[in-house]
Structure 1
Amino acid sequence: MGNCKSMPSSQTQFMQTARILFFNGVMKEFREPIKAGEIIKQNPGYFLCHWDSLHIDKFMVSVNSKDVLELGELYFLLPLRKLQYVLSVSDMAAMVFKANSAINQMISSRERDDMYCKISDDPLPQESQKMVSCQSG
């Protein structure tokens, strides 16, 4: 007896990284602590902002260069000129679309490349199947 569930470890691994969506739509992950200043130094003319600090009709807020990027969080690398403007609905929609596309591409790529399955004996009242837990890893 059992149930069927899917818990890709790629999603768990995804939460254990700091992710930066670059201005060109490329997403990079960092598994080790890294300071915002290191990213900025490699990308002059750009700033980092945390996804949670983005609010429509408000100015974007830059992450302090001394701050360490938090694992499980998403950051955007944007041109410095964006600091002078309030975030519009269309800007936010474009950023959400890019982030969603990049995240989905990373997850599906990991699941496709690293999928494995294991059998478990967790009981389910009305089923007589073994639980299959598919994970990437």
Structure 2
Amino acid sequence: MGNCKSMPSPQTQFMQTAKVMFFNGIMKEFREPIKAGDIIGHNSGYFLCHWDCLHIDKFMVSVNSEEELELGDLYFLLPLCKLQYVLSVSDMAAMVFKANSAIKQIISSR
């Protein structure tokens, strides 16, 4: 019997990171634990929202600054003015399109 070590696929590697979709269309991956406040601290005037908390016709919810980002999850860095903003279908579609494009680019570059 031989020893064998499998390499993680690009998709598996992608799931092992917390991803933040920045306001400028760039997605950054974090492999190490990081708190929301660390990201917000470098981006004043913005807040982090977990993808699972985005609901059409609902207000956006900010991630607590003390919360660690979860590996495999997606977050959006949005302007503070959007915090009191009800998410529309077109807003959600634009965010999903932007995130999908960034994800495809990350996976294809691996």
TM-score, normalised to structure 2's length? Answer: 0.92
Structure 1 counterpart of 2:81: 81
Structure 2 counterpart of 1:43: 43
Distance 1:83 1:107 in 2: 30
Q: Which protein has greater RCO, CA pairs closer than 8 Å, 6+ apart? A: 1
Distance 1:66 1:83 in 2: 18
Instruction: Kindly provide the CA deviation profile for residues 83-128 of structure 1, in whole angstroms up to 9, marking residues without a partner as x.
Output: 1110000100000000000000100111xxxxxxxxxxxxxxxxxx
| Counterpart check, 1:17 vs 2:17 | yes
Which ranges of structure 1 fall in alignment gaps of 5 or more residues?
A: 1-6, 111-137
**How far 1:38 moved relative to its partner?**
0.3
Structure 2 counterpart of 1:64: 64
Structure 2 counterpart of 1:113: none
Runs of 4+ deviating beyond 6 Å: none
Which ranges of structure 2 fall in alignment gaps of 5 or more residues?
A: 1-6
Structure 2 counterpart of 1:90: 90
TM-score, normalised to structure 1's length? Answer: 0.74
Residue identity (%) = 84
CA RMSD, 1 decimal: 1.2
Distance 2:94 2:71 in 1: 24
1:80 counterpart letter in structure 2: L
Structure 1 counterpart of 2:54: 54
Tell which structure's C-alpha radius of gyration is larger: 1
Distance 2:92 2:104 in 1: 18
Q: What is the SS of the residue equivalent to 1:29?
A: strand
Q: What is the SS of the residue equivalent to 2:48?
A: strand
Structure 2 counterpart of 1:34: 34
**How far 1:8 moved relative to its partner?**
6.6
Distance 1:106 1:40 in 2: 23
Paired residues, number: 104
